[in-house]
Amino acid sequence: MIAFRYIVFAIISTIINLFFQYLSFLIYSGSFSLYIAMFIGTISGLVLKYVLDKKYIFFHTTKSKKDESKKFLLYTLMSVFTTIIFWGFEIGFDFFFDNQNAKYIGAVVGLSIGYAVKYFLDKKFVFKD
């Protein structure tokens, strides 16, 4: 059941990420717009995924605001590794394929791989009890 929930949450977070990227492109399409959009999408997906993972996957209750801050910081640190995967695929698809939607396909592939890796990182380093 946890695997199913994790997959559903990963899909929801991916949709939120791509939605905010799409909005970013609507607002700004100039220099570095892909990188700006990826950053905005990453932040939006990160916050949502942290809340869902903490509460419904790892069933973690923080003891204080300091504990919450430490958990979120560690969760974010683990996200750096998976974000490199995600951004690599999105940038790669955007670069190699002559299609406006290629970046989104790359994002989905990269996020899928990244979230699979992230589960194990979070289990081992963030929400270990």
- pLDDT tens-place string over residues 50-99: 999 999 999 999 999 999 999 999 999 999 999 999 999 999 999 999 89
CA distance 95 to 57: 35
Residue 128: what pLDDT? Answer: 86
| Rg of the Cα atoms in the chain | 15
How large is the angle between the packed helices 102-121 and 2-27, nearest 10 degrees? 140
**pLDDT > 90 fraction of the chain, expressed in percent and rounded:** 96
Tally of domains within the chain: 1
Residue 49 lies in domain = 2-126
User: What mean pLDDT is reported for the chain?
Assistant: 96
pLDDT reading at 129 higher than 80: no
- Nearest-CA neighbor of 106 among 25, 48, 38? 38
Taking the alpha carbons at both ends of the chain, their separation in whole angstroms is 20
- Enter the DSSP assignment of 115: H
